[in-house]
Each structure stands twice: as C-alpha cells, then as structure tokens.
Amino acid sequence: MGGRVAVAGASGYAGGELLRLLAAHPDLELGPVTAESSAGRPIAELHPHLAGVPSLAGRTFDAAGALTGSGCDLTFLALPAGQSARQAADLGQDTRLVDLGPDFRLADAAGWDRHYQGPHAGRWVTGLPELPGARQRIRAATRVAVPGCYATAAILALAPLAAAGLVEPDDVVIVAASGTSGAGRSLRPDLLGSEVMGAVSAYQAGGAHRHTPEIEQALGEAAGQVKGDGAGGGGWLVSFTPLLAPMPRGILAT
C-alpha cells in the first residue's frame, strides 16, 4: 500500500467525488474521513454510489478530531469557504494539504474581501497541473489550492490563448452553465427540483461571481504578469455570467 490520505468534509458532493477517486487509487490508503455534522453516519448513507466500494464497506464518517495525529501523508480539505484556513492552522505546517475550497486561491486580499467573509488567508500553489510549470510547482509544494469549478473550465480553455497573445485582456466574455451540485448539499428553495426543472437561469451576472478573480488572476499569470491582482488580473477584465441548468453535475462554458 502507498500513501495514507485523510479527507475533511467528506459528506458534501465534492467530498463524495473525492472519496470515489481515492478509493479507486492503487497507491493510496484511505485514513480518517471526517464530517462534522454527520459523524457516526455510514458513508454509503450520504453517498449511495459508494455502497459497493470494498474499501469503504461498513465505514462511517469520523469526527473532525480524528485528523489530529492521524499520521497521514496527505490531507484533503473539502470544506465550505472560511473553514479550510482554520483547519489548516489546527493541523500545523508539518501536514501536507490540498484544499478543494476557496480559502487559499487568491493572491489579492481585495479580491477575497469582495466575494467572501472573514480574513484573507493568503495563497497556496494553484492545483491545476495543465498550466505551464504547474506540475513541478505542485510536486514541490506542501500546500495546494484547487481552483473552483467554473474557474477550472474557463482557465483551461483561455490560458493557452492568453499565453499566445490571442486574447484581448480587457474584453473577455464567459457564459457557463452548471448543474445544481455546484451549490453544495445545503437545502435551498431555489435549488429544489421543482424550481430548476425546465429552465435555465442566470445569476451573479457580469463580474459578481466569486470565481471571476480566480480567472483573471490565472489569465494574467498565463500572459506573463507576475501575478493577477483579483481586480482585473493585471489588466485582465472578465465579464462572467453563470447559468444554473437543470442537471445534477457538469459545466458547459463558452
């Protein structure tokens, strides 16, 4: 068996997908799997698609304290905004971390303040190995921040064009449709099936969505700036309109 990994916040959609990938990985052993409000509940109860996975058979979610002293080689954080920074501080600098949440994605504190609550925690290495030089930076890092879902779709499509100088930085227009799982598992009336079926609706149009500064930051870096500043990304200005589509998962970005 290879490395031992833990997952914090495994009860959500991102956590469930992460468990599926880790359980199928031939070189990884799954350690503690925590879920604060669902501790003690069977994993398969919240993630029925994992019921037949042998390494997860009979397992329940652990309490958050199980991460401390777990001896894992790597810990994934699949937590809501603002919680990963606190968890990272509790685990200390000796623990290798990959954050699936937004806490460590942005270099610019002003960009963070416009879209999130709480103090800006700083930036970790961006976990998108397809970007130039990123694979080496990720390999050498002990802290990695995974980009957001919309941001990943847009950056992968636009970064090569930005690097080649084929995009005008002051007029980038993105329209992207996403499924309802992107909003998480919390019960919200606007995400109920009866509300979303049969229609596509725009929300947080223009530049109001929290993934906009991530995209501007990445495009500024791809084009050769030292960093994006989250407020135009070193001259990059993105007009981003997200759409909620009646599907459980997936993104179509234009």
| Catalytic residue list | 149
Phi/psi class of residue 133: alpha, beta or left (left: φ > 0; alpha: ψ in -120 to 50)? left
Q: Provide the token pair at 191.
A: 């995400």
Closest CA to 20 of 78, 64, 71: 78
Q: Which residue type sits at 12?
A: G
Question: In Å, what is the CA distance from 202 to each residue of 178, 193, 248?
Answer: 10, 17, 17
- Judging by beta carbons within 10 Å of its beta carbon (0-12, 13-18, 19+), is residue 139 exposed, middle or buried? exposed
Residue 224 phi/psi, 5-degree rounding, is: 115, -5
Phi, psi (degrees; rounded to nearest 5) at 79 = -115, 160
Q: Which residues pair with 62 in a beta bridge?
A: 34
